[in-house]
């Protein structure tokens, strides 16, 4: 059974993880760029037991059969269709909707054996809206950055009274404390992606971060914190990223180890990495 990594060529983390796993997995590791899906030939087949499977023939001649792929790590950020580049807008929109539905249905065949699970996120390019993770994080006791409290208050106000929220994405880029979770692996990284010593309250933060990942139904997640005030002040959460993009050696090691362990699990125990305790990597 194969492991399929669905990622763009520009996705440095996914490409580095694939390169790390290639020597050990060989032909069991399949890499497909989302750009290749629009030009592929799709066929839905039914076996003797009545089970459906999708047979995908790529333009380069490779064949991907859903029944021979055990796990899928999807990093799809877009589904371009060059063939419709010069078509009227309504035709491009219709083609885009059709392809998105097709890819969603395809990924849903794997159920929880795909990350992220398509049946939980309903889109091949899932976006994690602010309130989707902000409210659960608060309920789980993770201390929030004051800007996030402002965001909660803004959402609770009538539109006419709402105040603009500062740019959270820009603020999180400078967050010095980052916790990367990947299929039960965990690693504390700094802004450069180098592994760093865990903070004093790392065990508590890790437990709460795991619980948040479970609620969001994501096995791969990056949480970013800032410390406001003196060194003994608690870390405050500023961002949660469902598609980490740090491609440092430490990040690649964490994700590759978690992905390999998940792929080797029996399908019946596939939820262990999501629901169990994370294995924290330290220097």
List Cα–Cα distances, 261 to 71, 225, 227, in angstroms: 11, 27, 33
Q: Is the pLDDT of residue 203 over 50?
A: yes
The residue that leads in pLDDT, 92 or 214, is 214
Least confident of 183-187, 252-256, 273-277: 273-277
The residue that leads in pLDDT, 271 or 2, is 2
The C-alpha angle with vertex 132 and arms to 128 and 133, in degrees rounded to 5, equals 85
Residue 243 burial (CB count, 10 A):
20
- Whole-number Å distance between alpha carbons of 271 and 219: 9
**Mean per-residue pLDDT for 96-124?**
90
Q: Is the pLDDT of residue 277 over 60?
A: no
| pLDDT at position 50 | 78
Residue 10 burial (CB count, 10 A):
10
| pLDDT at position 264 | 93
12 SS3 class: helix
- Whole-number Å distance between alpha carbons of 124 and 156: 30
Least confident of 23-27, 130-134, 173-177: 173-177
What's the N-to-C CA distance of the chain in angstroms?
A: 33
| pLDDT at position 269 | 41
Residue 112 burial (CB count, 10 A):
17
pLDDT band at 87, cuts 50/70/90? confident
- Whole-number Å distance between alpha carbons of 214 and 219: 8
Buried b (16+ CB within 10 A) or exposed e, 247-265: bbebbbbbbbbbbbbbbeb
Using a cut of 0.75, tell me whether the model's pTM lies above it. Answer: yes
**Mean per-residue pLDDT for 183-201?**
93
| pLDDT at position 164 | 53
User: Which pair of tokens denotes residue 213?
Assistant: 């990942």
Least confident of 89-98, 156-165, 208-217: 156-165
Q: Is the pLDDT of residue 167 over 80?
A: no
- Whole-number Å distance between alpha carbons of 145 and 165: 12
The residue that leads in pLDDT, 232 or 68, is 68
Residue 128 half-sphere exposure toward CB, CA atoms < 13 A: 23
Cβ–Cβ < 8 Å for 181, 211: no
Q: Is the pLDDT of residue 30 over 60?
A: yes
């Amino acid at each position: 059974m194969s492991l399929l990594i669905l990622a763009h060529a520009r996705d440095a983390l996914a490409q580095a993880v694939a390169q790390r796993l290639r020597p050990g997995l060989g032909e069991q590791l399949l890499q497909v760029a989302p750009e290749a899906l629009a030009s592929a030939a799709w066929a839905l087949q039914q076996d003797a037991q009545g089970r459906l499977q999708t047979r995908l023939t790529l333009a380069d001649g490779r064949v991907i059969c859903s029944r021979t792929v055990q796990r899928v790590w999807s990093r799809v950020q877009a589904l371009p269709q060059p063939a419709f580049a010069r078509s009227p807008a309504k035709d491009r929109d219709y083609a885009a909707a059709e392809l998105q539905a097709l890819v969603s249905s395809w990924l849903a065949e794997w159920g929880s054996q795909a990350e992220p699970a398509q049946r939980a996120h309903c889109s091949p390019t899932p976006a994690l809206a602010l309130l989707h993770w902000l409210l659960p994080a608060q309920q789980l006791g993770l201390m929030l950055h004051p800007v996030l409290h402002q965001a909660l208050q803004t959402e609770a106000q009538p539109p006419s009274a709402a105040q603009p929220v500062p740019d959270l994405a820009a603020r999180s880029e400078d967050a010095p404390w980052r916790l990367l979770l990947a299929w039960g692996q965990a690693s504390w990284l700094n802004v450069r992606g180098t592994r760093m010593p865990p903070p004093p309250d790392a065990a508590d933060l890790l437990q709460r971060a795991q619980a948040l990942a479970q609620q969001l139904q994501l096995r791969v997640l990056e949480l970013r914190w800032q410390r406001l005030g003196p060194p003994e002040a608690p870390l405050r959460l500023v961002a949660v990223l469902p598609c980490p993009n740090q491609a440092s050696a430490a990040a690649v090691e964490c994700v590759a180890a978690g992905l390999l362990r998940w792929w080797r699990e029996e399908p019946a125990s596939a939820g262990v990495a999501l629901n169990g305790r994370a294995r924290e990597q330290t220097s």
